[in-house]
Amino acid sequence: MDAEAAKTLGMAIVVGLGVIGPGIGIGIVVGKALEAIGRNPEASGTITTTMFIGVALTEALAIFALVIGFILKFT
Amino acid sequence: MDIHVALAPEHLGTFFGIPVTNSLVMGWIVVAILLTVGFFVGRNVRLIPGKVQNFFEMIFEFVIDYMESTLGSRALAIKYFPLIMSIFLFIVTANLLDFFPFIGSIGIQHEGHFVPLLRPMNTDLNVTLALAIIAFFVIEITGIIMLGFLRYGSKFVNLKQGVMGFMVGIMELIGNLARLVSFSFRLFGNIFAGEILIAVAIAFLPLFLPVPLMLFETFVGVMQAAIFALLTLAFIKIAISEPHESH
């Protein structure tokens, strides 16, 4: 396996594995937020903004994997 | 498939010894736009607002009310409003400019390859890191001013509650430092990934596929600007809350 193939494979593996956890996490975050809105529809505004903060924090992990993938592949 | 990806911004030249990159030019354009809009809106402030003034007042009131409900006091909200709103407006203007047709397509030939004159501002890690450093120092200094150096420090170096309390304090310290990384990489990664996604889409299906993706990336851009500002606000809130005493 030459270096270029290894880089491409490395990017594919790091992104593929890196998005599993955040995917599950965002699912849980949004699911719980919807549950909360279902229980208390009046508080939906606060819950939605808090949910977006949680989604952003979780999603950052997937983005880290993506950035590391880019660095592996393109530098 | 030929996709050109450059992680670092390209140098266009030097200005009094300072290297000028294409994302720096873009940053100054964003500043110029914000200054112009601010100047013309601010000059015509009236007691009975016109349409433009009404629009801005509506946004500012919404933001300041939200900040008041988060921080718990109107005075604090007014104190931090300029910073939070500037962060939001700066990032959102830069992200909305990303898909204008002249960005990335007008350029110069330099040493045999094409160098675009403008590059979306947030696809440069230096910009997002600078914003993250500003947010980081504002958060930490706010904590020190509001709680005092020793009480704020006791969140991180906790000697009263044994080994467990000490470890929790160290974790808190590492978590605070990691905000620099997560702030900058979140914004950079989202916008940069969007650019690459669109480059790939253009290589596959040049006529139709990029349009819905651009719409989605515009939404992502606005969302990320809001999240950067919201997280700064939330971390300021955490910084000014009292350290946990032993009960």
pLDDT of B39 > 50? The answer is yes
Q: What is the pLDDT of residues B46-72, one digit of tens each?
A: 778 778 888 888 888 888 988 888 888
The one-character DSSP state at B122 is G
Give the CA dihedral A51, A55, A56, A61, nearest 10 degrees: 150
pLDDT confidence of B247, banded at 50, 70, 90?
A: very low
pLDDT confidence of A32, banded at 50, 70, 90?
A: very high
Higher pLDDT, B5 or A67: A67
* CA closest to B185 among chain A residues: A64
According to the model, what pLDDT value does residue A21 have?
Answer: 93
pTM score, whole prediction: 0.84
Chain B 4-23, residues with CB within 8 Å of chain A CB atoms: 5-7
Higher pLDDT, B117 or B236: B236
Q: What is the pLDDT of residues B15-25, one digit of tens each?
A: 787 888 888 88
* Residue A48 contacts B, CB cutoff 8 Å: no
pLDDT confidence of B246, banded at 50, 70, 90?
A: very low
Q: Which SS3 state, helix, strand or coil, does residue B114 take? A: strand
CA distance B120 to B89: 15
Contact B119, B217 (CB under 8 A): no
* Residue A43 contacts B, CB cutoff 8 Å: no
According to the model, what pLDDT value does residue B245 have?
Answer: 56
pLDDT of A52 > 50? The answer is yes
The closest alpha carbon to A37, from A46, A27, A28, belongs to A46
User: How much of chain B is in helix, strand and coil states, percent to nearest 5?
Assistant: 70, 5, 25
CA distance B115 to B128: 22
Contact A7, A72 (CB under 8 A): yes
Nearest-CA distance A67 → chain B (Å): 6
H or E, element range at B157: none
ipTM: 0.75
CA-only gyration radius of chain A, Å: 17
pLDDT of A23 > 90? The answer is yes
| Cross-chain residue pair A53–B234, CB shorter than 8 Å | yes
> For tokens 């990159």, what's the residue?
B21
According to the model, what pLDDT value does residue B1 have?
Answer: 56
According to the model, what pLDDT value does residue B136 have?
Answer: 93
Q: Which SS3 state, helix, strand or coil, does residue B237 take? A: helix
- The token pair at B102 is 């002249």
